[in-house]
A and B are shown apart, each in its own frame.
Chain A
Amino acid sequence: MPNDPSRPDPLELLAHARREEAQSRRGRLKVFFGAAPGVGKTYAMLSAANRLAREGVDVVVGLVETHGRSETEQMLLGLDLLPRRSVEYRGVTLQEFDLDAALARKPEILLVDELAHTNAPGGAGGGGRFEKRWQDIEELLRAGISVFTTLNVQHIESLNDVIAQITGVQVRETVPDAVVEKADEIELVDLPPEALLERMRSGKVYVPETVKSAVESFFRVGNLTALRELSLRRTAEWVDAQMREQRAGSGGVGRKAIWHATERIMVCVSPSPMSPRIVRAAKRLAAGLHAHLIAAFVETPAAMRMAADDRERLVQTMRLAESLGAETVTLSGSDAAAELVSFARSRNVSKIVVGKTGLSRWRERWSGSFVNDVMRQSGEIDVYVIRGDADELVKRAEGSPLLLPTIHSSWREYFLAALIVVACTVIGVVTRQMLEATNIVMLYLLGVVVAATRLGRGPAVCVAILGVAAFDYFFVPPQLTFAVSDVQYLLTFGVMLVVGLLIATLTNRLRDLASAAQQRERRTSALYAMSRELASSRDQKDVAAVAVRHMHDTFDADVVLLNSRFGDQARTLEVLATYGSPDWFDDRQRGVAQWSLDHAKVAGAGTSALPSVAGRHIPLLTPGGTQGVLALRPHMSQEPLTPQQILLLESFANQIALALERVTLLEGQQAARVEAEAERLRSALLSSVSHDLRTPLATITGATTSLLESGPAMDEATRHGLLQGIDSEAQRLNELIGNLVFATRLDSGSVQLRRDWTTVEEIIGAGLSRLRDRLQMRPFRVLIPNDLPLLRVDGALLPQVIHNLVENALRHTPDETPIEITAWATDQNIIVRVADEGPGFPVGDEERAFERFYRGAGSTIGSGMGLGLTICRGIIRAHDGRIWTENNATASGARAPGASVVFSLPIERPQPRLFVEEPVSRDATAGLGGDH
């Protein structure tokens, strides 16, 4: 382990903190743990409950089996009882724990007996939510309800087969170790075996009549002592683990605490029936060492053609590993051992657990031993080899890869194989005059190659054997008998058979590799195709649409993608996108999806949570949280998904989750940027408004108050001056407000262009009309050619541009300096320039001039809101034109002071047709009736 053993592993501290945090909201779990039924767990639990109830704690009995024992029943008297739920199962009415009622009642502490109980399977009708009671209890804890429960040692998953060995009774109801390990408190209820047997004899232990004999063989001193030892040891381990955890939690910096870098143990999973045993053994080892357990399976080309029951077993084993608290990993590669060891190295695994293969020595030599490979390559990693049962090994040998076909070739293929032999023989018979016997052997070997590539290994082996027989029968003298005259031919047969078998095996392996590569390639490319499209998606809708389409295509399923929204109380789901038929996604499915979101766990068909619904619900997890839920219902819903499919599904879900998170963050960022910009504008606007509006108001107020106070005493000229000041400032105020309103309208997009054909001259004339008085003090020229094309523009908006530009020039340049408007046409555009001879725009500020509230550095004469140019730009852009500033724009070309604002507007073609009229008469006095 790379960690310095004297320092706390930060990851571990973090995990500890996380657990603490989760637990502060979770209810607490207390397990009353015993070696066997009858030791008094329920009684102990009830006495504890009674004690608490007397202290005023809200304790409710969810479900307690008294089995008619009066002392236990008496303990129930003082407690609140939750009604049970009746379930009809195979004609029997069962009384089951009512989870929903418990959640609704929400007591402080709830008593639920028998943690390992399996709920009665419910159909669509009154079924419980979960398969197992421990799942019910998980739900209760999550809801913040503390739970007291009871458990016998033989129900612990990792001890399951040890106990089966001891007692000869295989227990079906098991509880994952992880559930018990998460318990906050474990109370061992201990009773010496003799005392227990005594109680048995006096009828104090409940025993159903039907299983009396089995139970009797179970309740023997030897068994009970072994069970008692197991339970004591397990309890000691738990206590030890808790102590360690506490020490880790309290270990300050500098203190010499015992810090174990977490050990990692990897168990190799195979489809073999003994694999669960190996996984359990690994779990026991891991529990003893407080190590992290990883269960790994390597998907090799051979695994691709795994039989359905093998596949199912593999899935079950992986699920078992998961329930034991192991991390499950599926690797992929052609050499299982190399793959596993390199993965183990990458994860700093210290111990590898493998099962012992039951191959005999010669076969091991032949095909290589997995265990040997692992041991050879493992280097510094310890390898634990665990044996499997003998009968299982026999079963395994049946499926051995060499002699019998594992690909399930049908009779058709074998028939074709026979045909190939027939064909080879016919060709040989026809050409026997021309061919040596050795070449006929070649013919048969060719047949083997064809069979191996086309039909699989079984038929190829069949061709090899039949080929030898046919060769002997038809071609080796004496012909048409199997007898051989020349002993040398025996060698030929042997070599022919071996070569044929080798070719069959090798070709077949090649074929498998190719098809495995092909499948991997298909999966990779499906994933790649989706991630590429996801990368270019800009928002949630995009991502969702891409995701459901690809999921549908790859898995042949109806897909619904939901994303989570933070509502008032809890996170809710809303459908982002669907693909295929959306009908299946009803309220029930929505409930499952919500569960999957809340618990960040896979739910639905083929999973342990809510398995009775048709769809599979995968939470979209990212480091940032759960983004949503992906629900899919495969069209072939009766077939369970293969491990490869599940793996691929998870990869897809990962990609989608990350993409969703990315766009969510992106949208958030954009919103924040927009918000910041809006905020900046608001504050700029506020300061600008208060300044620019108050300045004219100050003049007006000053002038009016002085007129009111001492008007009559003033001379006519002074009074007139004041009044003129009021007038001009009021006009300025009006202009400012107009600009503000206009800019807001442009911003909000509420300005709609009303385009009409008009002339440039008209636009300029209209724009200048309100500035006439101010322009009269200046040298001012307008230069417009007579033959300019017409523009199709908004005749009300464009004059505003001219007005603002000229007004800007007037304001920013000294009096007496000239202003000039020039217009001309290019091929595509009409260009208008408003030029002045003022200080010009500061170099580098040319573009900023159009930004809102920009004020030129030389703007000393008066002030405006800096909105004029912004409005111009808005209007010109709305007309698909361009507007820019230029310094130094005199006709002479010499560098002269001055700025120009230039805009161009596209000329629309065709131009409207106009009929040309000639003046009717030279002499208008002669009237219109006359002619030239």
Chain B
Amino acid sequence: MSATPMPQAKLDAGLILLIEDEAPIRRFLVATLAARGFRVNEAATAKDGLLQVAMQPPDLIILDLGLPDADGLDVTRQIRAWSAVPIIVLSAREREQDKVGALEAGADDYLTKPFGVAELVARIHVARRHAQRIEGGKGEHVYRVQQDGRTLLVDLARRRVAIIESDHETIVRLTPTEYRLLETLVKHAGKVLTQQHLLREVWGPTHVNDVQYLRVYAAQLRHKIEADPAQPRFLTTEPGVGYRLIA
């Protein structure tokens, strides 16, 4: 596999390594991503993929979990052993354990096949932004996102949470735990965070299995920030996996 010759892109959005054994999927992804300014390297096997990660470190890896020569989870772990490059995992499997496994193994995000291109590109951007923020050593202090005419505003530096609805700003009062939960989500905005990850970060390593804490505080948080907590717009649930605060 060699780097696909790039058409002269208007801007270089970065180098993506695509490790995927299905040629049709590779073909359409390469075309789509190239059209959005990415350079794409392809690998059909885990072995080749790992080699390419070492030879020409990419800015992001798209990894299929169902490779013929190795388990995708192992590949993720091997890459993570020496590189922090963002990894987005593709899986045809609908099993939640696989998704959780991939995330726990160090993947940044996952997509279930079939997926829309818009979704993929959004995930790529979130993952890269996050990676860049870590590289830069400082995160963005203000999170601001709009859904259905409502804006959620979180200012981490000032510890200020507010909802802006038709130009009217309402301050949201949070308990310390609710705030820590929201803070964690904001720091990884756009990414899915597993239940275990959130429990570890907010409640500490001894509470990794107390899912009920997370459920109750997530529900409380939704009641404070969502218009209809039963149809959340900001804080969504990934069933069986975890939570995602949209970016």
Contact = CB atoms under 8 A, between A and B. Distances in A.
B7 interface: no
Given A741-B94, A759-B219, A762-B219, A734 B114 contact: yes
Contacts of B175: 917-920
B196 to A, nearest CB: 11
Nearest to A800: B239
B232 A765 contact: yes
Interface stretch (B67-75, B125-133, B210-218): B210-218
B8 interface: no
Interface string B113-127: 010100000000000
A757 B212 contact: yes
Interface in A895-914: 912, 914
Contacts of A769: 236-237
A925 B171 contact: yes
B2 interface: no
Contacts of A924: 159-162, 171-174
A914 B171 contact: no
Given A758-B211, A914-B213, A765 B230 contact: yes
B239 A796 contact: yes
Contacts of B236: 765-766, 769
B231 A923 contact: no
B239 A795 contact: yes
A927 interface: yes
B228 interface: yes
A928 to B, nearest CB: 6
B177 to A, nearest CB: 6
Contact of B212 (A734, A765, A782, A790): A790
Interface string A724-756: 000100100010001001100000000000101
A761 B230 contact: yes
Interface in B220-247: 222-223, 228-232, 236-241
B186 to A, nearest CB: 14
Given A796-B239, A923-B171, A924-B173, A756 B211 contact: yes
Among B114, B161, B162: residue with most chain A CB under 10 A: B114
A605 B172 CA distance: 94
B158 interface: yes
Nearest to B220: A917
Given A924-B171, A924-B172, A754 B216 contact: no
A757 B239 contact: no
A757 B176 contact: no
Contacts of A758: 211-212, 215
A784 B174 CA distance: 22
B38 interface: no
Interface in B101-121: 114, 116
A764 interface: yes
A757 B215 contact: yes
A759 B216 contact: yes
A925 B158 contact: yes
B96 interface: yes
A768 B211 contact: no
Nearest to A769: B236
B231 to A, nearest CB: 6
Contacts of B161: 924
A772 interface: yes
A927 B211 contact: no
B231 A766 contact: no
Contact of B230 (A768, A794, A796): A768
Nearest to A916: B175
A734 B94 CA distance: 11
A172 interface: no
Contacts of B232: 765
B29 to A, nearest CB: 16
Contacts of A754: 240
Contacts of B160: 924-925
Contacts of B94: 738, 741-742
B219 A917 contact: no
A756 B212 contact: yes
Nearest to A913: B212
Among B94, B173, B215, B236: residue with most chain A CB under 10 A: B215
A912 B240 contact: no
Given A738-B94, A741-B94, A923-B171, A914 B216 contact: yes
Nearest to B216: A914
A95 interface: no
A800 B95 CA distance: 13
Nearest to B113: A734
Nearest to B97: A754
Chain B: interface residue count, which band?
35 or more
Contact of B231 (A727, A742, A757, A768): A768
A833 to B, nearest CB: 14
B99 to A, nearest CB: 10
Contacts of B231: 765, 768, 772, 782
A768 B231 CA distance: 7
A126 B104 CA distance: 74
A917 B174 CA distance: 9
B25 to A, nearest CB: 14
Among A761, A800, A921, A927: residue with most chain B CB under 10 A: A761
Nearest to B171: A924
A922 interface: yes
Contacts of B228: 782
A786 B158 CA distance: 31
A912 B175 CA distance: 20
A734 B241 CA distance: 20
Contact of A762 (B179, B213, B215): B215
Interface string A497-528: 00000000000000000000000000000000
B239 A799 contact: yes
Nearest to B93: A741
Nearest to A756: B211
Contacts of B96: 796
Interface string A409-421: 0000000000000
Contacts of B230: 761, 764-765, 768, 782, 784, 821
A455 to B, nearest CB: 81
Contact of A761 (B177, B178, B219, B238): B219
Contacts of B172: 924
A775 to B, nearest CB: 8
Contacts of A795: 211, 239-240
B237 A919 contact: no
A388 B239 CA distance: 97
A928 B229 contact: no
A862 B227 CA distance: 32
Given A790-B212, A917-B175, A922-B173, A766 B239 contact: yes
Interface in A779-806: 782, 784, 786, 790, 794-797, 799-800
B144 to A, nearest CB: 16
A921 B158 CA distance: 14
A730 B114 contact: yes
Given A758-B211, A796-B96, A917 B177 contact: yes
Contacts of A914: 212-213, 216
Given A759-B216, A914-B213, A925-B160, A765 B229 contact: yes
B176 to A, nearest CB: 6
Interface string B137-172: 000000000000000000000111110000000011
B179 A928 contact: yes
Among A727, A758, A800: residue with most chain B CB under 10 A: A758
Interface of B: 94, 96, 114, 116, 158-162, 171-179, 210-213, 215-216, 218-219, 222-223, 228-232, 236-241
Given A758-B215, A924-B171, A925-B158, 11 more contacts: A727-B116, A741-B94, A756-B215, A762-B219, A767-B239, A768-B230, A768-B231, A782-B231, A797-B240, A919-B173, A920-B175
3 shortest interchain CB distances as A-B pairs: A796-B240, A757-B212, A917-B175
8 contacts: A754-B240, A762-B215, A762-B219, A765-B230, A796-B241, A918-B175, A920-B175, A928-B179
